[in-house]
Amino acid sequence: MSKPVLLETGPMMDLISSQLAEAFTVHALPPRAAERDALLAKIAPDVTAICTGGHTGVKTDAAMLARFPKLKVVANFGVGYDSIDVATAARRGVVVTNTPDVLTEEVADTALGLLLNTVREFSRAENYLRAGEWAKKGDYPLTSGSLRDRKLGMVGMGRIGQAIATRVAAFGVPVVYYSRNKKSDVSYQYYSNLIEMAKAVDTMLVITPGGAETKNMINAEVLAALGKRGILINVARGTVVDEPALMAALRTGIIQAAGLDVFWNEPSINPEWMTVPNVTLLPHVGSSSVHTRNGMGQLTVDNLLAYANGTPPKTPVAETPFKAW
């Protein structure tokens, strides 16, 4: 029997590609548009499985999905699947899978690192030392920021949000949260109104799914409510934050500082970011340790092998529950 045909929408780690090659006939989407179209014209009618990920920059939107009449499964390397049109997939009976849990603690660790770094200016202090300023000019200036007198408002309280909140609470920092619905299993104070929460805290950490519902949710009004001691950390998706509004707020002192691991238009982010001094910038490294990426890679493979072997996928997303292949 011939192997099922699978499309990789961009470069995948070796752990993924090597295992998929054993169970599938694998095609990788080339980077250039003309070559892509030529390949898709040839293989799209036979593709039953897609392996994708936010890092590929390819959107599995309605138009993309429409190209694959026999499609059964889209496996996303990553927990966030805002680049996939799950409503269309659900209508078509296509199962979408993601990689929850295996990255929760790593992303929470990253969030804490970024929060501490932003509040206490560690990157800037290191640059001061490396530039030889310590011996020349004396001690690095005392930071106006400290976690000791802060209160954290979380935007989102899912699995990763809870892992972050546990860490922050252990640091002795009070935590409250905003999300669409109050969580029955957490005891942190809940706000149903984002502006009200922004007014009540001085530090805000965003860990909510991307997509149309949360686009530009952190806007000029929210930043003004956060106030001039305000610190914003985003480890979710760039699209959740209105970037021009944030840039303006940082430049004019509407808030104090920000720490960003995610951006609009990654990896070609707005070059203006490089000129904003009171922001810590990370190149979307939330889950990017070998340990955690191996876990994510294996779960992606397991979900696809489940299709090849006719068994239930390990982690289908809520919108596309598995019924049968």
Residues that bind ligand 8YV (CB under 6 A): 53-55, 77-80, 103, 284, 286-287
Q: Minimal CA–CA distance to 223: which of 257, 176, 178, 190?
A: 257
Q: Minimal CA–CA distance to 276: which of 140, 118, 150?
A: 118
Which CB sits closer to ligand 8YV, 53 or 230? 53
Phi, psi of 49 (to 5 degrees): -140, 140
Q: What is the DSSP letter of 278?
A: T
Sign of dihedral through CA atoms 176, 102, 265, 271? Answer: positive
- What is the closest distance, in whole angstroms, from the C-beta atom of residue 205 to ligand 8YV in the complex? 15
- What is the closest distance, in whole angstroms, from the C-beta atom of residue 135 to ligand 8YV in the complex? 39
Choose the catalytic residue: 237, 251, 272, 319. Answer: 237
> Catalytic site residue 121?
no
Which CB sits closer to ligand 8YV, 54 or 313? 54
Choose the catalytic residue: 266, 272, 291, 293. Answer: 266
Which CB sits closer to ligand 8YV, 79 or 282? 79
Choose the catalytic residue: 55, 106, 121, 284. Answer: 284
Strand partners, 47: 5
- What is the closest distance, in whole angstroms, from the C-beta atom of residue 284 to ligand 8YV in the complex? 5
> Catalytic site residue 291?
no
- What is the closest distance, in whole angstroms, from the C-beta atom of residue 167 to ligand 8YV in the complex? 18
- Taking the CA of residue 80 as centre, how many other CA atoms within 13 Å lie in the half-sphere pointing to its CB? 23
Q: How far apart are CA 45 and CA 150, in angstroms?
A: 56
Q: Minimal CA–CA distance to 119: which of 145, 140, 151?
A: 145
Q: How far apart are CA 297 and CA 21, in angstroms?
A: 14
Which CB sits closer to ligand 8YV, 223 or 232? 232
Q: How far apart are CA 211 and CA 81, in angstroms?
A: 9
> Catalytic site residue 237?
yes
Map tokens 């293989």 to a residue: 43
- What is the closest distance, in whole angstroms, from the C-beta atom of residue 242 to ligand 8YV in the complex? 20
| Encoded tokens for 180 | 């669409």
Strand partners, 260: 234, 281
Which CB sits closer to ligand 8YV, 286 or 313? 286
Q: Which residues are tagged catalytic?
A: 237, 266, 284
